[in-house]
Amino acid sequence: MTPHEVTLVRIYLREAENLLDKLLNYLHDDAKVMGVTVVRGIEGFGEDGKIRAVSLLNLSMDLPLVVEFYDKPDKAKNVIETLVDEMRLPHVISLPAIGYQYETGKSNSIIDTL
């Protein structure tokens, strides 16, 4: 296992902003980040203070979304600058982290014994 420094980036959106497709296309096609995960919240609120939630009576299509990716620190910084400046995304955070990558060609004793 090889540890390496990465930057974890989280982008907070709402479904009604209709930015997800554009954002994913940029991260996949242009920025070519290591990978992306999108999480749909069941409840949340933003700067406006309005609580958005799923309920049986209200199947909201304006729920919170969190788009998360990680990459090398320099690359993540450049991607963040583009997201904030060109796509006008107001809620982007980054955190330093350590990534761990399995080294191909080495035996994984736990998996091999199963």
Backbone angles phi, psi at 71, to 5 degrees: -165, -175
For the stretch 74-112, pLDDT in tens is: 999 999 999 999 989 989 999 999 998 877 766 555 555
User: Which domains can be identified in the chain, with CATH numbers?
Assistant: 2-112 (3.30.70.120)
For the stretch 8-28, pLDDT in tens is: 999 999 888 899 999 999 999
Please state which of the ranges 1-10, 17-26, 59-68 shows the lowest mean pLDDT: 59-68
